[in-house]
A and B are shown apart, each in its own frame.
Chain A
Amino acid sequence: QKEVEQNSGPLSVPEGAIASLNCTYSDRGSQSFFWYRQYSGKSPELIMFIYSNGDKEDGRFTAQLNKASQYVSLLIRDSQPSDSATYLCAVRSNDYKLSFGAGTTVTVRA
């Protein structure tokens, strides 16, 4: 069983719509959760992190965490063509290493 699982996509949404990305993890002791955006051929960049159950909002991005269900999600509101990228979910367990999912590719249609 993979430690961090994401739907690979592609997820295609029209411009202005909400994109919803999901991530599940296997280690119940995981402490912190991160979302990275990676454009094709580029390195990942951190866009959101969340440590506590509930929602965390930053601009058009909202991260949601449910530790009981071992589930973390990312919502992108008012999606723009510039949001077209691969989104990586990363989870930190009791050690400080991050485990990454394979990523969900998002395409925003103009």
Chain B
Amino acid sequence: DGGITQSPKYLFRKEGQNVTLSCEQNLNHDAMYWYRQDPGQGLRLIYYSQIVNDFQKGDIAEGYSVSREKKESFPLTVTSAQKNPTAFYLCASSIGVSGGYTFGSGTRLTVV
């Protein structure tokens, strides 16, 4: 079945540590996105990518980095510069400019 796989489901980060969240899709979608969701808030866009080897900052990119070396993969690194990383992270993809998003199951990141 086609879909988006995010891993791990739960992740714990120590202060000063970088962590990488995985996102893989087999939908042959061109565009991929990373959102962050905090309790009581909507989804906020971190980074997005329209095509391989190209990505743009979203509304809250500070403290995060991404790469898009393959069409299927769009990993997100939460760096130590992100001061409040505890949140639910959602990866999504879309076939083009007009369709809705398909979401992965999310990664819940907690700072310990």
Contacts and interface: CB of A to CB of B under 8 A. Distances in A.
Contact of B100 (A34, A102, A103): A34
A18 to B, nearest CB: 24
A49 B98 CA distance: 11
Contacts of B90: 43-44
Interface size bracket, B side: 20 to 34
A31 B96 CA distance: 14
A88 interface: yes
B104 interface: yes
Interface size bracket, A side: 20 to 34
Contacts of A34: 100-101
Contacts of A44: 43, 90, 103
Contacts of A98: 100-101
Interface in A90-106: 90, 92, 96-98, 100-103
B42 A88 contact: yes
Contacts of B105: 42-43
B101 A46 contact: yes
Contacts of B35: 100
A43 B90 CA distance: 7
B74 interface: no
Contact of A96 (B40, B42, B96, B103): B96
A45 interface: yes
A105 to B, nearest CB: 10
B41 A46 contact: no
Question: Which has the most chain B C-beta neighbours within 10 Å: A88, A96, A101, A102?
Answer: A96
Contacts of B101: 34, 46, 90, 98
A96 B94 CA distance: 9
B9 to A, nearest CB: 10
Contact of B97 (A4, A96, A101, A102): A96
B45 interface: yes
Given A44-B90, A96-B94, A97-B48, A103 B102 contact: no
9 contacts: A31-B98, A44-B43, A96-B31, A96-B50, A96-B94, A96-B97, A97-B33, A102-B40, A102-B42
